Amino acid sequence: MIEEDLAEDQSSDERRHYDRSRLLVDVSFDGGDATGVASSKDISLGGLYMNTQANLPEGSVLLLRIPVAEGKQVVVNAEVVYSNPGSGVGVSFQGLSAEDRALLEVELRRN
């Protein structure tokens, strides 16, 4: 079996690089022909899933604003890697800064 076939055979859980935590916050997003606010379902240092009825196809690049403790927010670009139209999307963070990563780590430890 070639490497590509192996990747297709792995479940999405096996492909994840980071542990997920439940973090329910309102995430602002902009991009992919849509702008809005969605509620997060779960989050990791690699990305998040958010509930939204917006049409955000796979490959769309979004600018996310994620509120964290003490009135701060993480601002990061993210690519839609999974889309369930009318229900939600899974996104992968792109270029998360060291400062924003540290803010997320603190928030994730609380949950």
Q: What is the pTM of this model?
A: 0.79
3-110 maps to CATH 2.40.10.220: yes
Per-residue burial over 67-90, b if 16 or more Cβ lie within 10 Å, else e, is bbeeeeebebebbbbebeeeebbb
* 67, amino acid identity: P
Output the pLDDT for position 10: 36
Return d(Cα 100, Cα 72) in angstroms, integer.
10
Output the pLDDT for position 71: 87
Return per-residue pLDDT of the chain as tens, 111 residues. Answer: 333 333 333 334 444 465 555 667 899 999 978 999 999 988 999 999 999 999 999 999 999 999 988 789 999 999 999 999 989 999 999 999 999 999 999 888 876
Instruction: Say how many CA atoms lie within 13 Å of 29 toward its Cβ.
Output: 32
Break the chain into its structural domains and give their ranges: 3-110
